[in-house]
Amino acid sequence: MSFDWGIIIANWKFLILQGLMGFGAFGGGTLRLAIPALVLGFILGVIVGLCRLAHRPWIHYPAVLYVEFFRGVPLVMVIFWFWFLIPQMTGQRLPEYTVALTAFVVFEAAYLGEIVRAGIQSVPRGQVEAATAGGLSYRQMMVHVILPQAIRNMIPSLVTQFIVLFKDTSLASIIGMMDLTKAAQTVSQREIRPFEMYLFIAVVYWIFTYSMSRFSQWLEVKMSPERAPTRRAALRAATAEAPA
Amino acid sequence: MIQFRGVNKWFGPLHVLKDIDLHIAAGEVVVVCGPSGSGKSTLIRCINKLEPIQKGEIVVDGMPLNDPATDITKLRAEVGMVFQQFNLYPHMTARQNITLAPVKVRKQSREEAERLARDLLAKVGIPEKADDYPAQLSGGQQQRVAIARALAMQPKIMLFDEPTSALDPEMINEVLDVMVNLAREGMTMIVVTHEMGFAKKVSHRIIFMDEGRIVEEGAPHAFFANPKEERTRTFLSKILVH
Ligand SMILES: Nc1ncnc2c1ncn2[C@@H]1O[C@H](COP(=O)(O)OP(=O)(O)OP(=O)(O)O)[C@@H](O)[C@H]1O
Ligand SMILES: [Mg+2]
């Protein structure tokens, strides 16, 4: 078996500019899909999470239904639905990109909503009481006391979910959206070089997801100034070592 | 300053406050004691409406709590609260903990709030801890920051819910000293505690609760010297051993 790595260089514009970034005649693009999907999915997720925590049943139960429904079905199926359903309902085809983005936002918001809910619930009840006793309004309490602590606790799960989302964007290729996977598939079929192509995109996906996980670790430390080692902790360690 | 009239409260089917009648004058220091689950925390949490009541009436500094026209934010600004578990905001320094409510609720200028925070930290004896995070402070220091945080709203009433129960023994006195000074300055205080030394030293009145009722109340020396109720005697014999 012989390899031809030149195939990557020869097709880099198509793979990177078109496939990864979405600049080109085909639209699509892995990053052009993943980034807005992540941002919009998170915003919708915060809304879903807050609704799940609401006490009013007509806000609470639709959010529960939403989460349980979309967590219970495969993503591929959701993508197919939007792909076949929207033309049937509206009478016109939407671009693959629009369909994929909609499907991802709707699907991911269910998972992200659960992460947001768990993050808010992870903040001890005493924090709500202290803020309430201090006279803060619900909004002030959320903004200054609860969400800063909640988001910090959410970072690891959020980033894990963002990584899953990033990799899942490769599923958009099944409805023909030109992302990194689809671009590699196209090149590989033309040149009959599947090994080189699929190894190459694996590396590209990995570089992005690994950077995300490193960023998450950095952010966790950065957002927890009070968890930095302290004089007192150092002192305590020193006294513990000293003979009694 | 504080009036309870025929107050009853339920948690679902559980009747936790039963026909409470209680009047507390301005400047009075009242200690509340009683066995676990007797409703002590619930009683003081009703005063700043952390808990709603189902029957009866509470009036705090002329503000009836069940009147929808009462401004709850104003009420909470007048009532400071200190918790057993401190409940400091862990992502903020001591100074930020203290200035948050004055700036956001009282709309004080930042300079004014910072000045007040500095004064209050000096008052509770830890002026050098302004920029430390709660995790960097000992339990006693955290509780003193929590007291400073409550005082920053310039309250007329201070509520304490077992402020020293979560502390190591050697830190209890540094917190009690701050409370003694506060009592001597004439603050109206309601203190849930089993620190009977504190009760004898500064309180004007002791209330003993059991099963949601006020069983007995009186001036500290009479309360300790000859409790009238059998239940009070049993309780006192248990806690005074320690
Ligand atoms: N949020 C709540 N929901 C349901 N029941 C509650 C709640 N808070 C307190 N209770 C119950 O109400 C009763 C009185 O509780 P409370 O906390 O006022 O007692 P306490 O005298 O402060 O006890 P402790 O000394 O243990 O702090 C207890 O039986 C308790 O289990
Ligand atoms: Mg209690």
> What domains, with CATH codes, occur in chain A?
5-241 (1.10.3720.10)
pLDDT of A242 higher than 60: no
Ligand 1 neighbour B239 (Cβ under 6 A): no
Cα B160 from chain centre: 2
* pLDDT over 90 (residue A8): no
Q: Which of B7, B10, B33, B36 to mutate to test the pocket of ligand 1 (most atoms within 8 A of CB)?
A: B36
Both tokens assigned to B98: 């203290």
Residue ID of nearest Cα to ligand 1 atom 10: B11
CA-to-CA distance for B143 and B129, rounded, in angstroms? 13
Per-residue pLDDT of chain B (242 residues; tens, 9 = 90+): 999 999 999 999 999 999 999 999 999 999 999 999 999 999 999 999 999 999 999 999 999 998 889 999 999 999 999 999 999 999 999 999 999 999 999 999 999 999 999 999 999 999 999 999 999 999 999 999 999 999 999 999 999 999 999 999 989 999 999 999 999 999 999 999 999 999 999 999 999 999 999 999 999 988 888 888 888 888 888 887 65
Higher pLDDT among residues B65 and A91, named by residue: B65
Q: Predicted ipTM?
A: 0.92
- The answer on pLDDT for A236 being more than 60 is no
CB-CB: which of B87, B135, B153 is closest to A130? B87
Test mutation, A155, A232, A235, A239, chain B, max B CBs within 10 A: A232
**Tokens 């990053």 sit on residue:** A31
At B59, which amino acid appears? V
Instruction: Give residue B242's pLDDT.
Output: 52
* pLDDT for position A136: 95
Q: What is the pLDDT of residue B158?
A: 97
Cβ contacts of A92 within 8 Å, gap of 6 or more: none
Residue A131 has pLDDT above 60, yes or no: yes
Instruction: Name the nearest CA neighbour of A178 among A22, A35, A38, A9.
Output: A22
Q: Is B193 in the pocket of ligand 1 (CB under 6 A)?
A: no
- Predicted pLDDT at B193: 94
Q: Please tell me what DSSP assigns to residue A93.
A: P
> What is the sign of the dihedral through the CA atoms of A218, A219, A222 and A224?
negative
Ligand 1: atom nearest CA of B51 is: 1
First to last CA, chain B: 34
Helices and strands: H and E segment counts in chain B? 9, 10
pLDDT band, very low/low/confident/very high, at A228 (cuts 50, 70, 90): low
Residue A147's alpha-carbon distances to A47, A60, B84, in angstroms, are 13, 19, 23
Asked whether the predicted pLDDT for residue A233 surpasses 70, the reply is: no
pLDDT reported for residue A243? 44
Facing B83 at nearest CB: one of A129, A145, A152: A129
Residue located nearest, by CA, to atom 3 of ligand 1: B11
Please report where in the chains the tokens 């941002």 appear, as a residue.
Answer: A39
Ligand 2 centroid to Cα of residue B37, in Å, is 7
- Mean pLDDT (chain A) is 88
Nearest to A144 among B73, B76, B100 (CB): B100
B52 lines ligand 1 (CB under 6 A): no
Q: Which ranges constitute the DSSP H helices of chain A?
A: 6-10, 12, 30-53, 57-72, 75-90, 96-121, 125-133, 138-140, 147-168, 180-191, 194-222, 231-241
